Amino acid sequence: MEVHGTRFGTLKYVEDELISLEQGMMGFPNSKRYLMFPYSDDSSFFWFQSVDEPEIAFIVINPFDFFSELEFLVEDADTAAIGLEKGEDMEVFSLLTIPDGKPEDMRTNLAGPVVVNVRNRRGRQVVIKEYSARQPLIPYEMRGAYREQTRGKRAVKQMVAVS
């Protein structure tokens, strides 16, 4: 199968590679099927590309790669909705926002992560009230050093659908 998008051109995939979100993403209810692939080699960032609306793609991260003491308590109704029976079958991703020209101010949405059952590839965006929807990814005290390291490098931008 193929999806023809504005950012990546034509992407080939097989049905087994899709992650299905029955309710879609918050603000994007019609995008229910996604492909996920690395942003680049050795990157902690991933693309979450809608197959239903190819103009929609998000940058996501595994938040545990950045926040070692993070704990998500997922409601029973959410785990039941995706058929999740064991914690080890769950992967969690959070959406990333990178302000134009200010990559040091990138933030991730820990309050609305996407939980995926890796066995059946069904997922759901859940609400975690204990966390911020705008959690800084780079601590304030490290932003100056980050700016120096990335000076002259192209920043990753989150793609958002325009109606």
pLDDT at 104: 87
pLDDT at 150: 62
Give the C-alpha separation, 18 to 24, whole Å.
13
Domain coordinates of the chain in residue numbers? 2-150
pLDDT at 42: 85
- Residues 74-81, mean pLDDT to the nearest whole number: 96
The better pLDDT of the pair 158, 56 is held by: 56
pLDDT-above-90 percentage for the chain? 71
Q: What is the pTM of this model?
A: 0.83
Q: Is the pLDDT of residue 161 over 50?
A: no
Dihedral over Cα of 76, 80, 85, 91: its sign: negative
2-150 maps to which CATH number? 2.30.290.10
Mean pLDDT of all residues belonging to the chain: 88
Q: Work out the burial of residue 41: count CB atoms within 10 Å of its CB; fewer than 13 is exposed, 13-18 middle, 19 or more buried.
A: exposed
